[in-house]
Amino acid sequence: MDVKEASAMTGPSGLPDDQLGLESASRRTQANQFETQLRSSIARLSAQLRQTTLEAPLRSLFLAFVFGVWVARRR
């Protein structure tokens, strides 16, 4: 290893800067994919709850009441 390679290395990782950049980009891509999947799951759940509320108001109120009691008991 010459001086140029040694100066291009990052501290504890021992990887050259360009390799570290590729790893960071890969991690960011994975994080973005996870966030996208999470957002779509939340959107589906929200749509399902909204649909349930519109179709059966009494059943929805009962479920909300039971959920509220459950949350209150956990505290």
What confidence score (pLDDT) does residue 56 get? 72
Q: pLDDT tens digit string along 14-29?
A: 555 555 555 677 778 8
The model's pTM is 0.42
Q: HEC string of 11-45?
A: CCCCCEHHHHHHHHHHHHHHHHHHHHHHHHHHHHH
66, 73 Cβ separation under 8 angstroms: no
Spatial distance between the Cα atoms of 14 and 17, rounded to a whole number of angstroms: 9
16, 9 Cβ separation under 8 angstroms: yes
What confidence score (pLDDT) does residue 61 get? 83
Mean pLDDT, rounded, for 59-68: 88
Judged against a pLDDT cut of 60, whether residue 75 lies above it is answered with yes
